[in-house]
Amino acid sequence: MPEIKIATYNIRNCQGIDGKNDPSRIADLLKGIDADIIALQEVDKYRLRSNMVNQACKLSKLLRMNYVYGPVNRYFLASAGNALLSRYPITAHINHVLPYTRDPRYCLQVTLDVDNRPLNVFNVHLGLNYQLRMSNLKKTILPMITSLKSPALLVGDLNASQDDPEVKLLSSFLHDTFAENTDSLDATFPADNPNERIDYIFTNADCTPVKYYIIPSLASDHLPVIARILIA
C-alpha cells in the first residue's frame, strides 16, 4: 500500500500573526513539511489585500506541485477560496456548492492518481453557523464521501471543536487522524496561543492513518496539520 503525507492549512491569505502578507513565508513552511498533498483554505486570487497575487498558482510554482483552485467568494475578477496542491497527477476535480444563506461555502473535491489508485480529497472551510455546518456535513459532504468505493479524505477548517456535535457526527462515519497524534501539541487555533482544534484530517475505511502531528508557526492565524496515511 502506498503511503502519502498530507497537510491541511488555513493560510489566511498568507497573512501572518505579524500582519504581513507573505506567500514566500508560507511556501518555506510548506517546503519544510514536505507533504505530497497540501489542502489550503482562505487562498486569495487577484485581491488588493494580498497584492493582486494568484496565491494558489504562486505557491504551486514555488513548491513545484500541481494545483487546483476552487473559488468561494467572488469579487468581480478576484476571489478567495480553497486550493489543493499535489505531487500526484490530478485526474478530476469539482467545486461543490454547499447550502448557504448569506455566507457562501464550497467543498473542493479533487481526484488524484496515487500509484494507479484513485484517491479523492475533499477540501472544505465551513462557516461559523452551527446549523449550517451540520446541514453541509449531513446533507452534502458525508453522502458524497460514504458513497465512494475507494480511498477518500476529508480535510480542512471546520470551525468546530472536537467535542461539537458535527465533529462527533463525522467521527461516527470517518476516522479522525488525531488519534495517531505523536506530539504534545493538540490545538490548531489561534496560532500564537493555540487552544482549539478546528482543523482536521479525516479518512474513510480504505485508508490507514499511521502518524499525525501539528506544526507550530506564526505564518498564519492557524497551524498546519499533517498526517501520514496508507492508501489501500
CB 30 within 8 A of CB 9: yes
Residue 55, phi-psi category: left (phi > 0), alpha (psi -120 to 50), beta (remainder) = alpha
Residues in Cβ contact with 73 at an 8 Å cutoff, skipping those fewer than 6 apart: 79, 80, 81, 104
Each residue of 176-188: pLDDT tens digit? 999 999 899 999 9
Each residue of 2-57: pLDDT tens digit? 999 999 999 999 999 999 999 999 999 999 999 999 999 999 999 999 999 999 99
Q: What is the percent of the chain where pLDDT is above 70?
A: 100
- pLDDT reading at 213 higher than 90: yes
207 falls in which pLDDT band (50, 70, 90)?
very high
Domains, the chain: 3-231 (3.60.10.10)
- pLDDT reading at 76 higher than 90: no
The pTM of the full predicted model, rounded to 2 decimals, is 0.97
Peptide bond into 71 cis (omega under 30): no
How much is the average pLDDT of 77-101? 94
Each residue of 113-133: pLDDT tens digit? 999 999 999 999 999 999 999
Beta bridge partners of 225: 8, 214
Write down the mean pLDDT value for the chain.
Answer: 96
Three-class DSSP category at 88? coil
Provide the pLDDT for residue 103.
Answer: 84
Q: What is d(CA 186, CA 181) in angstroms, rounded to the nearest whole number? A: 8
Residue 119, phi-psi category: left (phi > 0), alpha (psi -120 to 50), beta (remainder) = beta
Provide the pLDDT for residue 101.
Answer: 66
